[in-house]
Chain A
Amino acid sequence: MSSQDIPEETLPSKQGDAHQGVAATSGDPFADPGIPPHEPRIQDIDERAAQRSERVVAFLFLLSMLATVGFIAAYVTLPVDKSIYVFPIGHISALNFSLGLTLGVALFCIGAGAVHWARTLMSDVEHADDRHPIEADPEVKAKVMADFAQGAEESTFGRRKLLRNTMFGALAMVPLSGVVLLRDLGPLPGTKLRKTAWSEGKMLINQNTMQPLRPEDIAVGSLTFAMPEGMKEEDHDFQQEIAKAALMIIRLQPENIKDKRELDWSADGIVAFSKICTHVGCPISLYEQQTHHVLCPCHQSTFDLSDGGRVIFGPAGHALPQLRIKVNDKGYLEAMGDFAEPVGPAFWERG
């Protein structure tokens, strides 16, 4: 592995240039002096230093072996749920910490050893390799062009247009089967995005207590989340339905409601708005009870719940849909129908 087996030719004309460069300095002060002569490292001239390096490398490899043993020992002995306190980090899993560190040390030491070896004990003489142009010689190109012309001629591709056109037609059509096959990835949209689980007479169920809400439960300044009566978390379509039906309920002083329709659709100042942001559908619910603004945590669309859910800031394009509610004869809040417009993000067919 010494520098002997580097053929002299690979230290190319540069050497020549270097001499010229020195000679030509008087002419061109910026001439390329050529690759600087190799300067030995301490390990190249002092065998003791080289041995020191060797010991360091060997020590690193040994350390790696020890760390691997440590890794296996930790895996075998530490219970998976053991928690330890490590000062600046906190209460962490003993297993994760010890496995990670031993694995890290085992790997890092192999790398550090190899690099230290390369840096101090392998030759650090710089070599120059010639580059050759990527593009082919004109003769090669001419030969390829001729071969291609001959091949094209023999194929009769250019002459028999019918063959060519039908082949292109067939090749262009065959991927269509693949596209058609994707049809059953899902159903057609239909009116799915326009309907939710709300319908006339469904009571508003408090998601905390799972009890139907009464108007006197809801104080001014409070925030409550509700879902339609009859939905259960165990239902297989619960996620799809709650993704559209989630509702937030607040109470305003009726004189604070600025929008006439909002007032009409409220019950004793209690208003029910969709919890699904009209921007891209995050559950919006950062309700500021003094300003009656509600903010979306994802993209900061801000809606004014005292003014018909109008957008007052951010990227949402239309107001939050309101659910029309009333107090039924048993004294519970109930919906007077589904949302009048699609909830959630806008889409092409929304109109």
Chain B
Amino acid sequence: MKKLSARRRHPLAAVVVLLFALAVTGGLYAAFAPAESAKADDTAQSLAIEEGKKLYSVGCASCHGTGGQGTSDGPSLVGVGSAAVDFQVATGRMPLQQQGAQAPRKKAIYTQAEIDQLAAYIASLGAGPSVPTKNQYSPDGADIAKGGELFRTNCAQCHNFVGKGGALSNGKYAPSLEGVNPKHIYEAMQTGPQNMPSFPDTTMSEQNKKDVVAYLDTVNSDKTKSPGGLELGGLGPVSEGLFAWVFGLGALIAVAIWVAAHTAKAKKS
């Protein structure tokens, strides 16, 4: 304590205090910020549980119209198929919280049973791609190398080599595919949610889709191997450059300061 008090008038004391204050503020913000979104989920969960159309008329009809015919606030849902409903609702994109460049992925507010009921209702409005079966998207019997080639031809231009996501125009973006359920990836290819183009079975066969899903499972899941070490976000040279500057050159400068500094003298003033 005495040491501390002796140094409180050191020329660098102000800098240290400032850094400390910044760290505390940042830490407190990080600690409290997520709490709010959790509250929102609670209210969402308290939504009444009803079936199919009932669910639709409560949660969806205000934008998509009472019969699913669409309004100025939301597209028609006739013929989008159950796969589209499962994708949009189970990934939390729908119902939309607010209008924006695009609907973000968030925590789903309907249970899978409710989603299935909703999907059945929408599917009854007009034929469309249906929710894939587990067999369709499981990696068994898939050709991973072919999946990689298909991914680079059809997907990587927006979602990056290993599905880390990327920017589109005017604030839109292709989301990261990290931690996305293979079923939802399959559905996204089938239905083309929002600005993503669709890849229907007629141009990208079921086997093709299975290969793509299997490739993603290999290169972007929690069991993905990164032999060289930290992936640095899988974003390529930008994050590598940042790492080289901060940790590479930063560490070297720290070492250089040690090398060049004068050794402590015996007599402390």
Say if A and B assemble together.
Answer: yes
Cβ of A43: which chain B residues have Cβ within 8 Å of it?
A: 263
B225 lies within 8 A of A208 (CB) = no
Q: Which residue of chain A has the shortest Cβ distance to B172 in the bound complex?
A: A288
Q: Interface with A: B52-60, B111-119, B202-210, which one?
A: B202-210
Return the contact of A208 from the options B169, B204, B230, B265 (Cβ within 8 A).
B204
Say yes or no: is A285 at the interface (Cβ < 8 Å to chain B): yes
Given contacts A92-B229, A250-B197, contact A295 B266 (CB under 8 A): no
Cβ of B226: which chain A residues have Cβ within 8 Å of it?
A: 89-92
Cβ of A291: which chain B residues have Cβ within 8 Å of it?
A: 169, 195
Q: Which of B225-262 contact A (CB under 8 A)?
A: 225-231, 258-259, 262
**Bound CA span A216–B198, Å:** 14
Smallest CB–CB gap between A305 and chain B, Å?
Answer: 11
Say yes or no: is B200 at the interface (Cβ < 8 Å to chain A): yes
Cβ of B202: which chain A residues have Cβ within 8 Å of it?
A: 216-219
Q: What per-residue 1/0 map shows which CB atoms of A100-122 lie under 8 Å from chain B?
A: 10000000000000010001100
Q: Which residue of chain B has the shortest Cβ distance to A249 in the bound complex?
A: B203
Say yes or no: is A342 at the interface (Cβ < 8 Å to chain B): no
Smallest CB–CB gap between B227 and chain A, Å?
Answer: 4
Q: Which of B154-189 contact A (CB under 8 A)?
A: 154, 157-158, 166, 168-169, 172, 174
Return the contact of B265 from the options A40, A218, A221 (Cβ within 8 A).
A40
Say yes or no: is A26 at the interface (Cβ < 8 Å to chain B): no
Cβ of B263: which chain A residues have Cβ within 8 Å of it?
A: 41, 43, 119-120, 124
Given contacts A208-B205, A209-B208, contact A96 B229 (CB under 8 A): yes
Q: What per-residue 1/0 map shows which CB atoms of A73-91 lie under 8 Å from chain B?
A: 0000000000100000111
**Bound CA span A219–B195, Å:** 15
Given contacts A39-B266, A297-B157, contact A92 B225 (CB under 8 A): yes
Chain B residues in the interface with A (C-beta under 8 A): 150, 153-154, 157-158, 166, 168-169, 172, 174, 192, 194-200, 202-205, 208, 223-231, 258-259, 262-267
5 sample A-B contacts, Cβ–Cβ < 8 Å, listed by A number: A39-B265, A40-B266, A208-B203, A222-B203, A290-B194
Taking A42-B265, A208-B208 as given, write out 13 further A-B residue pairs in contact, using a Cβ cutoff of 8 Å, ordered by the A residue number. A89-B229, A90-B229, A115-B259, A119-B263, A124-B262, A209-B204, A223-B198, A223-B199, A224-B199, A225-B153, A283-B157, A300-B169, A302-B169
